Amino acid sequence: MQPIESQYSPEMKSNRKRMTYVAIAVIIVVSGYFAFSHMGTDETVNVMWLQVNLQYAAGSGNLGPSVQYIQENIHTISGGTDHTFTISLTNRGASPGSVLSISSNTPGFIIKSSSPLPFVVKQGTTATLSFTVSTPASNYVGNLEVTLVVGP
């Protein structure tokens, strides 16, 4: 029995083999690019609870317990970005209460802006205080602790 003769010249066979190797190499490079370039390398910040510490000065209104927790773990924030939080404050006291300052006690979180201060909450009313923080440029899961200084 004789071998089957191919109609392709040796040069054509060689070119075909080269094209197969090139195609395989391209597939490997493209697959590697997509596999490694889309891996999760971005930092994420997940604030589980917003812990609000109220420091009362003498004669200030009653804006609630001195420590309040607000659940926040409903979304993920990109690390190194700004994010705005809100706090509802109800004055149950007999006189107005004013938020005089706001600060972050959590490393990496910086208060960038807030509702205009002093933020006055009249007796018997509820008001919403907003503030924007710059989040850390690293992965973080935990509480964000802020302190509000409350005066008359």
Model confidence over 32-86: pLDDT tens digits? 776 665 455 588 999 999 999 999 887 776 888 888 888 877 668 889 999 999 9
Supply φ then ψ for residue 113, to 5 degrees.
Answer: -160, 165
Residue whose entry in the numeric block shows the structure tokens 């191919």: 6
Are 77 and 47 spatial neighbours (Cβ–Cβ below 8 Å)?
yes
Enter the CATH code of domain 44-151.
2.60.40
Q: What is the pLDDT of residues 112-136, one digit of tens each?
A: 999 999 999 999 999 999 999 999 9
* Pure H helices in the chain: 10-37
Helix (H) or strand (E) holding 121: strand 119-121
Q: Number of C-alpha atoms within 13 angstroms, CB side, residue 103?
A: 7
Q: Where along the chain do its domains lie?
A: 8-41, 44-151
